[in-house]
Amino acid sequence: HRSKSEVVINTNVLVETANCPENGTCTLELMAKKSITFKKDDFGILYPVISEGEKTILKYTYNKYASPKYQDGHYTEIVYAEFDSVLHTTSIENKELEQFKFHFGRLCFFKGETGYYPITRGKFKLEKKGKDSVRIELNFEVGEVPQIVKDFSEIISIKSN
């Protein structure tokens, strides 16, 4: 018997988000039965490693449309976080974000401005909406690199099976 504020994630969910910078596409994904760790490469830059596990990974992706002028115009921003497989209504901010492995990724061809960075300034809110939906909200700032996406708020439907 689950509390009214809980949602169980046992299947992957991927939605194109309603709110997105107009020059790209955004998706919000919940990956069931996974876990994430962040490792450092030879240059000390963090990168995510996703493996089978008991957790749910949240992944928000912003893909900027590539400019035909630039061959390497590819630009992506990603936010990762990790939660238990049972999502509870949650409201956390700043340093508390570290408990859920919140990271911001900037993937592009700008030297020294690419990689993943822990998010330690921001607010995250998750709340159950109706039987099978949750609202996920995040606004945040990383100081290390420029960022286009500073917040998102989406209601996503989770079909339990």
Mean residue pLDDT of the chain comes to 90
> Which residues, other chains included, contact 44 with Cβ-Cβ below 8 Å and sequence gap of 6+?
none
Place of tokens 């008991």: 54
Q: Tens digits of per-residue pLDDT, 97-147?
A: 999 999 999 998 877 788 999 999 999 999 988 888 899 999 999 999 999
Q: Give yes or no for residue 16 having a pLDDT over 80.
A: yes
Alpha-carbon Rg of the chain, whole angstroms? 16
Confidence of residue 66 (pLDDT cuts 50, 70, 90): confident
> What percent of the chain has a predicted confidence (pLDDT) above 90?
66
Instruction: Give the whole-angstrom CA distance, residue 19 versus residue 30.
Output: 17
Record the pTM. Answer: 0.91
Q: Tens digits of per-residue pLDDT, 70-81?
A: 666 689 999 999
Range 92-122 burial, b when 16+ CB lie within 10 A, else e: beeeebeebbbbbbbebeeeeeebbbbbbeb
**Of residues 85, 77, 55, 50, the one with CA closest to residue 158:** 85
